[in-house]
């Protein structure tokens, strides 16, 4: 069994790159362009804000920055739900891996926030 170093920052960078591919695959329609605009901003934000959270000035600042990460990830998952439901990218099965990754990142970030709050009684 191979031991792989778990680096959440690298995972966020990979996630953003995968989401850029989703944005690029959206149709050049009014809906596709609108969702692409929203998604391109929200899919970069978790990565950049996670980087800021790593240099947080206090536990409260860490929780705040990680809360922004969580908010943006939830925006991404909502956009992915719309893309799947409207079948803006076909076949919709192409989105399953990135959808699952979004769910996993949401769970990791939510747990990180809860742990930080618990440990620092915020």
Output the pTM of the full model.
0.90
Nearest to 49, CA basis, from 9, 5, 77:
9
Q: What are phi and psi of 26, to 5 degrees?
A: -65, 150
Average pLDDT for residues 10-26, to the nearest whole number? 97
Is residue 63 in some structural domain? yes
Is residue 1 in some structural domain? no
Is residue 2 in some structural domain? no
Range of the domain at 112: 8-120
CATH classification at residue 94: 1.20.1440.60
Is residue 27 in some structural domain? yes
Is residue 13 in some structural domain? yes
Least confident range from 2-6, 23-27, 60-64, 104-108: namely 2-6
Average pLDDT for residues 59-63, to the nearest whole number? 95
DSSP state of 28: S
% of the chain exceeding 90 in pLDDT: 92
**Which residue is listed with tokens 């989401």?**
19
């Amino acid at each position: 069994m191979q031991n792989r170093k778990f680096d959440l920052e690298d995972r966020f960078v990979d996630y953003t790159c995968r989401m850029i591919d989703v944005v690029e695959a959206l149709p050049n329609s009014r809906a596709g362009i609108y969702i692409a605009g929203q998604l391109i901003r929200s899919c970069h934000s978790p990565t950049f804000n996670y980087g800021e959270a790593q240099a947080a000035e206090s536990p409260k600042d860490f929780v705040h920055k990680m809360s922004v990460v969580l908010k943006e990830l939830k925006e991404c998952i909502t956009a992915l739900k719309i893309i799947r439901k409207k079948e803006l990218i076909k076949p919709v099965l192409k989105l399953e891996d990135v959808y699952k990754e979004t769910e996993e990142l949401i769970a990791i970030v939510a747990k990180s926030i809860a742990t930080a709050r618990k440990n620092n009684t915020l």
